[in-house]
Structure formats: structure tokens, C-alpha cells
Amino acid sequence: MLPPDLILILLWLSAAIITIYLPLLNATPVRYVFTIPVILFIPGYCLLAVLFPQEGEIDLFERIALSFGLSIAVVPLMGLGLNFTPWGIRLEPIVMALTLFTLVLILIAQYRRAGLPPEERFNIPFAGIASSLWEGLFPAESSRVDRILSGVLVLAILTAILSTVYVIAVPKQGERFTEFFLLGENMTAAGYPDQILPEINYPLFIGIGNQEHRNVTYALETWYLRTESDTVTNTSRIIAMDPGERSALTLAHNETRIVPYTLSVSQPGYDRVEFLLFNESVPGPDVTGSDRINASYRDLHLWITVGYG
């Protein structure tokens, strides 16, 4: 039978996982109430439960204070380790790592406590926890200086906890940008068609990633260009720019979508395919040529040769 403190840890961890993935709760402050202790307290507490299974090895206040300190040290190390794995630092790998870490430590802690006589096992005095903490912080025989130092320690711990909670609950908004990329037929950054036959379909994939911190409706346009090179200035000039497909799609923040695209040219003469991406501001049909390309939010192009062999 698990002791009450480890049962409470399991129940709290389960509630935190539910608030992360349950649609009705994962967008409310309840999520932070349950998940922040899983990051700031529970890993360190479980580690101390393994290291100090016996009553009296450290007092209750030291156990609680060290739980915060160890958690703040251990969780970033877990994130660093995940960064070097194929899963990376994302929500699901972090939840899985914290859950497995906690469960393993609970099993080891229970094993170590079970090896001690019942009267020597650590047990949290839930009924008198407040008085136990007060006695640990401000014992009757302590001097005035000791009491002041204990108060400063409590204030420092609270400041560190509140600062960490604020950073987690109100993350700094990063740079706003949109990813726009083109993949070949094998969904890799290679294998793009360059020698093209008219009326033949060539599969491609277009990727758009929204990192704008808001929902964005994008407009995607394809244009087929005939260009002329100027050897003197080493530039190219657009002779003709004919429209291809147009589409629109809405992406939420942090959403990336890869859509299939079929490249098909109806006649020879084109030497460039231009892919233009607009973010909610699409110029009118009177804006053409280089002006339209410059007005796009992002643009990609493929140099091609169209012929009959």
C-alpha cells in the first residue's frame, strides 16, 4: 500500500495530465494550477523521497524547500536531454518524460520505505503540517537573527516560485514569422523538376508554418513566367507573367500544413514558376510583374525548362 503522500502525488499528476488534454480545461487557469506543481515541486519531492525514506533524516521544511530547488534543477536537465532526441522539446515528450520520471521515483521510494520498520518510515503529518513547518522555520530556542534569516529564506523561496510561475503562465512572445517552403515529390528538399514536358503532371508539396501568434488566412498564388536575362547587369527581366492556381487556407498559431501541389505547364516557353504567399493583404489584379512579387509576404520560385524533348 502506497503511503498517503505518494498517493497524493499520483492523484495530482493524473489531474494535471487531464487538464492538459481535456478540451474544456486546457485553455483555462485550472491547467496552470495543476501543471505548475508538476514542474516546480513534484520531481524534486519524489527524488527526496528516494534519497531520504526515513523519518527524521531531514525535517519537513527542508524537504519542501529542497523539493522546489531540486525540481528547478532537474526539469531543465530533462529538457536538455530531450533536445538531443528525435522528439525534441515539445509538449508530449515533456509530459511523457515527467510522468515516467515521477512514476519510477515513486516505485523506488516505496521500495525503500517498505524496507524500513513502520515506525521509521517517513510520513507527512497532514493534520499538523502547518505547525510542523512553523516549528521547523522558527523553533522556540532560535535567536532573533535566526528568525530573520528564516523569514528571508521563505521570502526568497516564494519569490523564486512566483517568478517561475509567471514565466510559465505568461511566456514572452517570440518573433513573428511565417515559414514557406517547397518540397519535392518525396517530401524532401530535393528532386524538384527542372526539365518539364507540357501537359505532364509533376507532384510537389508546399509547406506553410504559422508562427505569427494569431490565426492567419493565407492566400497562395502560382505564376508562370517568361524572363529575359541582361548580361550587362546580370539580372533578369519579366517578359510575361501568366496566372496559375490560387487557393486560401487558414492556419492557427504554431500550425504547419503541407499541401500537395501538381505542377503542370500547358505550353513551352516558360522558364520560371513563382509561388507567392500573401497574409491577409492581397493586391488587386492591376498589380502584376515584379510589383506583385515584391508585394507578397513570402515568395519561392523554381527555374524550369519547358520543351518537347
Percent of the chain with pLDDT over 90: 45
Place of cell 503562465: 169
Q: Determine the Cα–Cα distance for residues 293 and 305; give it in Å rounded to an integer.
A: 21
Q: Are strands 202-211 and 177-183 parallel, antiparallel or unpaired?
A: antiparallel
Could you give the angle at the alpha carbon of 292 between the alpha carbons of 213 and 269, nearest 5°? 125
Q: pLDDT by residue (tens digit) across 38-85?
A: 988 999 999 999 999 998 888 777 888 889 889 989 999 998 998 888
pTM of the model: 0.54
Are 145 and 207 contained in the same domain?
no
Contact 60, 136 (CB under 8 A): yes
Are 9 and 146 contained in the same domain?
yes
- The residue among 112, 139, 169 that closes a domain is 169
* The predicted structure's pLDDT at residue 143: 77
Helix extents (H) in the chain:
4-21, 30-40, 42-51, 60-83, 91-114, 129-137, 144-169, 289-295
What is the CB neighbour count within 10 angstroms for residue 110? 17
Are 72 and 211 contained in the same domain?
no
Are 284 and 158 contained in the same domain?
no
- The closest alpha carbon to 193, from 127, 263, 261, belongs to 263
Are 19 and 150 contained in the same domain?
yes
Task: Check which CATH number belongs to the domain holding 204 and give it.
Answer: 2.60.40.2550
Q: Determine the Cα–Cα distance for residues 99 and 94; give it in Å rounded to an integer.
A: 8
Q: Are strands 305-306 and 195-196 parallel, antiparallel or unpaired?
A: parallel
If one compares 261 and 56, the residue with the highest pLDDT of the two is 261
Are 13 and 88 contained in the same domain?
yes
Are 149 and 182 contained in the same domain?
no
Structural domain of residue 37, as residue ranges? 4-169
Q: Determine the Cα–Cα distance for residues 159 and 189; give it in Å rounded to an integer.
A: 48
* The predicted structure's pLDDT at residue 52: 92
If one compares 11 and 28, the residue with the highest pLDDT of the two is 11
- The residue among 169, 191, 211 that closes a domain is 169
Are 156 and 270 contained in the same domain?
no
- The residue among 141, 169, 197 that closes a domain is 169
Indicate the number of domains in the chain.
Answer: 2
Q: pLDDT by residue (tens digit) across 279-299?
A: 888 999 899 999 999 999 999
